[in-house]
A and B are shown apart, each in its own frame.
Chain A
Amino acid sequence: MTAIATSTGVPVQARPRRAWAGALIGVALLVLSVASLFIGVSDVSPLALVTGGPDGRAAFLLIVSRIPRTLALLLVGATLAIAGLIMQMLVRNRFVEPGTTGVSEFATLGMLVTMVLWPGMALLGKMGVAAGFALLGTWVFLRIIRAVPVRQLVLVPLVGIMLGGVVAAVTTFFAYRLDLLQSLGQWAQGSFAGVMQGRYEFLWVAGLMGVIAWIAADRFSVIGLGEEFATNLGLDYRRVVAIGMVIIAVTTAAVLVTAGMIPFLGLVVPNIVSLIIGDNVRRSIPWVAGLGAVFVVACDILARVLRFPYEIPLSVIVGIVGAALFLWLLLRKGSRAH
C-alpha cells in the first residue's frame, strides 16, 4: 500500500519496475489466453487447425467452445476485479469486495427468489432480479458501515462477512425448506465447464459495466478520498456512489448467473495492483482488469488440467490461491491491517 499516487494527470516518469510489471501482465495475458484456447478434452491444436483435423472439428470447437470459454474467463476476471476496486473506493477500505460485503449473498438470495416465484423466467430476468438484490445488498452494507463508529481496516470487511452470513443463512433456510439446496449450490458454484457459444453472453453486460467504470475512473479516485473532499471538488457524491453500486451489482449478478461465485478475486487483484502502482483509479483500472483476467485464466487452466479430462470447479482453485494471497496481504510486513 504505497502512498496515494499523484492524480495530477501529469505522466509520472515510468519507473522501470512498473513498466516491467505491466509488460509481464500483458505477456502473461497473451500467453495464457492462447494456452486456454488450445487446452481441452478435444484435440484443438494449431496444427489441427491448419490441417483441418478430422472433419474440420478443431476449427468448429475453437469457435463454439474454446473462444467463448476464454472470452468468458477474460470478462469475468477483468470485471470482477474492477468491481472489487470500485467497491474498495466506495468504502475506502482495502479489504472489501462483493464477496466480503454480502453483495454476492444478496445476489444468491435473488436467484433463489426467482427459482421460487418465477421459475419459468428467462435468464436475463433472473439476472435482473439478482442484480436488484445485489444492489440492495450494496446499499444495506454501505448504510451499516456508515453506522459503525469504528472504521478499522479489518472491522469493515468483518461486518460485511457477518452481513453476508446472515443473508446466506436466510437463503439456506428457505432453500432447505423448499428442497432447493443442492440446485442452488450447483448454481452458485463457480465453474466454466458448461460455457460455450450461447451460454456466456450475459457476461458482456458485465464487460459494459467495466467500460463504464473505466470512463468514470477519475470520479472513483476522488470518491476514494472521502465524501467531504469529493463534494468540495464539486462532485455529485451520491450520483457517483450510485453508479459504483450499479456497476458492482450488475457485474456480480452477471457473473453469478453465468458462471457462479468466484471468491477473493475482487479483493486480491486490486490490492496487488495498488502495491505496484498506487491508488489512482484511472491508471490502475487497466492493470486491475489485466491482472484479474490473468488470474482467472490461469486458475481455469489449472481446473481443466489437474484432473484431465474431468474438471475441478474453478471456484475451488480460485478459493485456494486467493485465500493464500489474501493471507499474505494481511500478514505482509508493513501492512496496515494490524
Chain B
Amino acid sequence: MSATRSIAALGLVAASALALSACASTSAEGDAAAEAPAAESETISYTWDRNTVTEEGADPVYEETTVEVPVDPQKIVVFDMAVLDTIGALGGEVAGAPLESVPDYLEDHLADDAFNAGTLFEADLIEIEAQQPDLIVVGGRSAALWEDLNEIAPTIDLSMRDGFLATLEANTAFLGEVLGAEDEAAAALEELTAGIDEAKAAVTEAGGSGLGIMVSGGELSALAPSKGDGDTRGARGGLIYDVFGVDPVVEDVEAATHGEPISFEFLLEHDPEWLWVVDRDAAVATEGAQAAEVVLDNEIVNQTTAAEEDHILYLDPTAWYIVFGGIDTTQRMIDDVLQIAGR
C-alpha cells in the first residue's frame, strides 16, 4: 500500500514538473519530428469489434473499429492489468495506469515517474490529456472508456475475445509488434504454451473431478466453465476448466460474473476430488475479511474428499481474479495449477 502511495506521489510530482517544462520540451520534440517524419508516421492497424453499448447488462452491439497504432510508442497508458503485464514482460514500460490497482508483482513494469490514470472503471481524463500519451490501451473493466480516451490519443481495446488462449496469443503477438519485440513475444508464447501443457498433464495425471469456488464475505460461489459462446465475462472463473483441463464436477454452473451462490452442503454433496479456491477478499485486499482458509475450515467442508485428502488448492487471487491474461500472470497461473503435482 505504502509503495503504491509513494509511486502515486512521485507521479504527481513528476506530472507537475512535466507541466512546468511543457513549453521547453515542445520545441525539442518539434525538431525531432521535422528530422524524422518517416518514424513519426509508422503505424500498425488494429481492428476489432467494439461493443458500442456501455450500459451494464445490456445486449452488446458491435461495430468494427480500426485504430492506427504508432510503432514504438513512447508514452503508453494502460487500463488493463494483463496488458501492463505483457508490455512489461516484453521489455516495455508504461507511463500511466490506475496505480491503485497495479498488483505488487507488476509494479516494476511502470515507469519511474508513472502517473495515476484513474481507476479500472474510470479514467482521469484531465490528467491523461495533460500527459499527452502516444497510445492508450483499455480492456475488460475499462472497455467502456474507449470513446472518451480515443479522443485524447489512439486507444485500443485488448479485452479478452475468443477465449483465453487465443486472446493471450493475439495480444502478446500484437504488443510484440508494436514494441518492436516480436522475437521476445514469440519466445514467451512458446514457453507459456509448454507450461500450460505441463500443467494440463499434471491435472490429467492427478485425475478426479474438480470445482472452482470463489470465497467472498464468508460466502461461497461456484465458478463456471465457459459455455464456449464467446461470453468472456464468466471466463476468469472458467479458466481452471477451460485452459487447464480440470474436469468440472458440475457441468451446468451458469457463467455468472461472480459464479453461483452455493451452500457448504453443495460442496459435500457434489464432493469434488479437487477444490480450487479463489479468495476474492484477498484479491481486492478487503482488510479484515475472513481468509478463505478460515471460511472453509468447518465441519461440513472438512468432511469432503478434497479436505480429507488435502486437495484444497488456493489460487493466486490477484492473478486469477484481477489480472489474468498477461505473460507473467499466466506463468503464475501455471505454477498455481502445478501445485496439484505435489499432492
Contacts and interface: CB of A to CB of B under 8 A. Distances in A.
Main secondary structure of the interface of A (DSSP, over half): loop
Given A118-B288, A119-B287, A61 B265 contact: yes
A309 B219 contact: no
B286 A196 contact: no
Interface in B198-216: 216
Nearest to A116: B287
A42 B298 contact: no
Contacts of B270: 41, 309
Interface string B219-255: 1101000000000000000000000000000000110
B263 A311 contact: yes
A313 B288 contact: no
A310 interface: yes
A213 to B, nearest CB: 28
B265 A65 contact: yes
A72 to B, nearest CB: 13
A119 B220 contact: no
Contact of B260 (A115, A196, A310): A310
A54 B90 CA distance: 55
Contact of A180 (B220, B280, B286): B286
Given A65-B300, A191-B219, 6 more contacts: A41-B270, A115-B288, A116-B287, A183-B281, A196-B298, A310-B262
Interface string A151-184: 0000000000000000000000000000110110
Categorize the interface residue count of chain A: 35 or more
Contacts of A65: 263-265, 300
B141 to A, nearest CB: 12
A187 B287 CA distance: 14
Contact of A183 (B265, B289, B300): B289
A179 B260 CA distance: 23
Q: Which of B218, B263, B264, B303 has the most CB of A within 10 A?
A: B263
A183 B284 contact: yes
Interface string A60-98: 110011000000000000000000000000000000000
A194 B219 contact: yes
A60 to B, nearest CB: 7
A173 to B, nearest CB: 14
Interface in B272-291: 280-281, 284-289
Interface string A286-320: 00000000000000000000010111110000000
Given A183-B286, A198-B298, A193 B222 contact: no
A194 B281 contact: no
Contacts of A118: 288
Categorize the interface residue count of chain B: 20 to 34
Contacts of B262: 41, 193, 309-311
A121 B287 CA distance: 10
A194 B263 contact: yes
B284 A310 contact: no
Interface in B292-330: 295, 298-300, 303
Contacts of B105: none
B151 interface: no
B222 A310 contact: yes
B216 A191 contact: no
16 contacts: A57-B268, A118-B288, A119-B288, A119-B289, A120-B288, A179-B284, A183-B216, A193-B261, A193-B263, A194-B218, A194-B264, A198-B298, A309-B266, A310-B222, A310-B254, A310-B262
A114 B281 CA distance: 15
B217 interface: yes
